[in-house]
Amino acid sequence: MSGDDASASRASPAGAGDARPPAASGRPPVAAVPRGPVAVPALVRRTLPGRELVPVWVNQVGGTTWRAEDAAGPGLHAKWAPAGSGLDLDAEAERLGWLAGRTPVPAVEALVRDDAGALLVTRTLPGRSAVDPRWLADPVRAVTAVGAGLRALHDALPVDACPWTWSAQDRLARVRPDVDDDVRAELARTPDVDRLVVCHGDACMPNTLLAEDGTCSAHVDVGALGVGDRWADLAVASWSTAWNVGPGYEDLLLEAYGVERDAVRVAYYRALWDAGP
């Protein structure tokens, strides 16, 4: 939801985004590719001296992702979370370590902090975000790749070995204080689990990277990854198509995943997502 892990090799909206459409909560999504100068935190400069730092994403809570360029060294991305932002980069680094060798994700290079915030440095991956202009110009291919990539992620990851949860019950404990009692009562009526998988946790289009052939090459922004019903991911992934490429693509994503639309679970998990922090 706070997506800002731009770990692809290009600087367009690569690697992160909030799947929440503007109308869902009444709060406009402000995570975006920066359109002007962005101040570089001192921690970023100290950790990546001598590199050209290109801002590629700014999220809703003031965090920024930078592409660190150096012709003599490996490509890196640096995700900075200001102190007090609520972004848990330790959780993301742990999940990236667990995912290594199981599915393509960025490799962690460093995790450092100071009084102003924390910084997660990862190795840049090849590919472009599914919302890169290259793929927005070919939405059928992009949406198909996101759906197929999500299915591959769910099929690849071992539920029994995953140490984290993203179940509806656990997420209900983190519902925002401003959510009214009627909504809370509805959310307490959790649907039966369709299929337990290791969920991405923010399976929106910007967090899927695509190779040049239009297939899914990797996933990024995995800080919420954990075991839950696959519809927790599917509801958000299909929802994000409406925001990122326009109406009419939700069922295409589900078809590419290999499942028919479950209207009850889609509605429930979107409501739970919208009630979250």
Q: pTM of the prediction?
A: 0.88
Tell whether 94 is covered by a domain: yes
> Which of 89, 123, 157 marks a domain boundary?
123
What whole-number distance in Å separates Cα of residue 58 and Cα of residue 66? Answer: 9
Could you tell me if residue 152 is left (phi over 0), alpha (psi between -120 and 50 degrees) or otherwise beta? alpha
- Is 12 among the domain residues? no
Residues 212 and 261 placed together within one structural domain of the fold: yes
AA letter at 213? D
Q: Are residues 72 and 143 in the same domain?
A: no
The dihedrals phi and psi of 149, each to the nearest 5 degrees, come to -65, -35
Q: Is 114 a catalytic residue?
A: no
> How high is the pLDDT of residue 157?
98
> Domain boundary residue among 123, 140, 165?
123
Residues 110 and 87 in one domain: yes
Predicted confidence at residue 213, as pLDDT, reads 96
Q: What is the CA radius of gyration of the chain?
A: 18
The pLDDT value given to residue 72: 66
Q: Do residues 4 and 64 lie in contact, with contact meaning Cβ atoms separated by under 8 Å?
A: yes
pLDDT of residue 8: 56
The whole-number mean pLDDT for each consecutive block of 10 residues of the chain, a chain of 277 residues, reads 45 39 43 80 93 86 87 84 92 98 96 96 93 95 98 98 97 95 96 98 95 96 97 98 96 98 98 92
Position 3 scores a pLDDT of 41
CB 130 within 8 A of CB 253: no
Strands 128-129 and 208-210: antiparallel
Q: Which of 70, 91, 123 is the last residue of a domain?
A: 123
Alpha-carbon separation of residue 92 from 65, 201, 220 (angstroms): 14, 11, 10
Q: What per-residue confidence (pLDDT) applies to 148?
A: 98
Structural domain for 70, as ranges:
22-123
184-229 pLDDT tens trace: 999 999 999 999 999 999 999 999 999 999 999 999 999 999 999 9
Instruction: Kindly state whether residue 7 falls inside one of the protein's structural domains.
Output: no
Q: Catalytic pick from 202, 221, 233, 262?
A: 202
pLDDT of residue 277: 75
Is residue 17 one of the residues assigned to a domain? no
Structural domain count of the chain? 2
CATH number of domain containing 166: 3.90.1200.10
Dihedral sign for Cα 205, 206, 208, 213, please.
positive
HSE value, Cβ hemisphere, 13 Å, CA-based, for 235? 22
User: In whole angstroms, how far apart are CA 40 and each of 46, 79, 163, 234?
Assistant: 10, 11, 35, 36
